[in-house]
Each structure stands twice: as structure tokens, then as C-alpha cells.
Amino acid sequence: MNAMRNKVQLIGHVGNDPEIKNLEGGKKVANFTIATNDSYKNDKGEKVEQTEWHKVVAWGKTAEIIEKYVTKGKEIAIEGKLTHRSYDDKNGEKRYITEVVANDVLLLGK
């Protein structure tokens, strides 16, 4: 059961070209967003489409794969874990971020 704790799987389209940073020691990090779509019928029987945007971060080899093959609009599947963090912005206000740390990427589509 431990393998199922804090596990996120998403299939969607990349919202922007990934931002790649090279860190000390040659390690890479990739940051991007992914859009997932869902639909349901409202109380009038009309189909309603809903898009959710997710922040994604990938490290190391996964970031290298993203850098080589992932661009805006590409359909991908990711698997990872949900994380929460906070920081103080330049005005001293606390900001909170929820993101998916991807450890697996599958390239879909053409």
C-alpha cells in the first residue's frame, strides 16, 4: 500500500515551453504547466468542459528528457507526487505553491 501514497498521474497538454535551469553540479530542473480536461453534464443536461492547470517540476534525468522532447501543446502523461511549499515574495508576503514533482514522463500523441 505504501506505493500508492501521494501518487499523482496526469494526462494533458503542456501549457508552455518548459523552463529549464542548470544547477550546480550539472543537475537540471524543469518547470512547466499541464492542462487536464474533464467534462460533465449540468442540471440542464448540457455538457460542461472544465480545464484544470497543474504546476509540474522535474529533476535530473526526467528534466533532461523534458528539455529534449517536450514543448508547448505536447500531450504527455506524468506520474509523481503532490507537494506544497511556501516562500516570502519580494514584498515580504508569504506565498504558497502546490505542484506535482514528476518522476516519470510518457510522451503521447504525434
Q: What is the CA radius of gyration of the chain?
A: 16
pTM of the entire predicted model: 0.83
pLDDT tens-digit series, residues 40-74: 888 988 999 999 999 999 999 999 999 999 999 99
Contact 66, 60 (CB under 8 A): no
- Phi-psi category of residue 47: left, alpha or beta, with phi > 0 → left and psi -120 to 50 → alpha: beta
Q: Where are the beta strands (DSSP E) in the chain?
A: 8-14, 19-22, 28-41, 47-59, 75-88, 94-107
Q: Which of 79, 58, 82, 80 lies closest to 70, judged by CA? A: 58
pLDDT tens-digit series, residues 16-41: 999 999 998 889 999 999 999 998 88
**CA 41 to CA 49: how far, in whole Å?**
9
